[in-house]
Amino acid sequence: MNVSAANVTVIEIPFTKVLLKNLIVVGLCVFINSINAGLIYTFSKHQIFNTNPRYILFVHLVINDMIQVTLSVALFVTSYLFYLPMTVCCFFILIAIFTTENTPLNLACMAVECYIAICIPLRHAQICTVKKTRLLISLIWATSLVSVLPDLFMTLATESQDYFKLRVFCVRELVFKNPRIIERRNITYIVYLVLVWCIIFFIYFRIMFTARTASKDAKKARNTIVLHGFQLLLCMATYVEHLVKDMVWQWFRDSYLDVLFACYLLFQILPRFISSIIYGVRDKTFRKHLKGYFLCKISPQ
């Protein structure tokens, strides 16, 4: 079963294909969350990390990714098993949207911190403090709340009580289906795209010019911004997901579900793995402590 532009279309799928897709998705979820759990544990046990604004923002991104990928996979698996009550579906969808919209904002904040560290290092300690970083994380969540909660309020105002007693195939297009909500969502996503990409491009070119004559750290920072940009590109592809679904339905109708599954892995799962790579593997300090965590886990007791 899956969702086309506006309707639910029931499609018979071989059991082996359903089982394989679910095994792939659940396996990736467990793998990514295991790495992320190691990152969070490493962060919490070493003061060098939990007093550094850069790593605080990173761990917030990791926690956000864990919530997002867990909810996403849970909804994926349940979609093959049963319909969810509308109220439960609304709750899960709202949390998934919050975490999805948090990601580009968090990446933009991390890029700004990187810019301050490289381009105005003398003011870095003054500007980037632990207290300000926590306030910034609160602002990220507040921004997502302001962006998403109007969808819920508009749905409460326009739908009857019986609507919330239904059991539904749990996707955003069926829960928040008011045309005004869709129009507002598209405008919000365009603003997000323009704003965040302007920040990323500005910071990349400023760091690139600094890296020409500056230290090795500046060049590493430039490469990190490139990875942020790639991750951002994949994450923000979810902002045009409804358009992708419509195009897939029009162009690949015979293999609709398979193409949609590939898009799901590319846009929903892969970006959450890249976060672990950027800091968990590339960052020397994190890599050293992370190795110790995993060696302890696999060594015989």
Residue 239 forms part of a structural domain: yes
Residue 285 forms part of a structural domain: no
Query: What type of residue is 110?
Result: M
What is the tally of structural domains in the chain?
A: 1
Token pair recorded at residue 251: 């162009």
Residues 57, 70: Cα–Cα separation, whole Å: 20
Residue 301 forms part of a structural domain: no
Residue 245 forms part of a structural domain: yes
Closest to 2 measured CA to CA, from 245, 285, 266: 245
| pTM of the predicted structure, to 2 decimals | 0.82
Contacts of 204 (CB under 8 A, 6+ apart): 222, 225, 226, 229
Please give the pLDDT value at position 4: 40
Residue 300 forms part of a structural domain: no
Strand partners, 168: 84
Which residues constitute the domain of residue 121?
15-276
Contacts of 62 (CB under 8 A, 6+ apart): 36, 39, 40, 275, 276
List the CATH number of the domain containing 227: 1.20.1070.10
Residue 137 forms part of a structural domain: yes
- From first to last of the 301 residues of the chain, give the pLDDT tens digit: 444 433 445 556 677 878 888 899 999 999 888 888 888 888 888 788 888 898 899 899 999 989 999 998 998 888 878 788 888 888 988 998 888 888 888 888 888 888 888 788 888 888 889 999 999 999 999 998 988 888 888 888 888 888 888 888 887 777 888 888 878 887 887 787 788 878 877 877 777 776 665 555 666 666 666 766 676 676 666 666 666 767 766 776 677 777 778 878 877 787 777 777 766 666 777 777 776 656 665 555 4
Residue 80 forms part of a structural domain: yes
Residue 110 forms part of a structural domain: yes
Rg, Å, the chain Cα set: 21
Residues composing the chain: 301
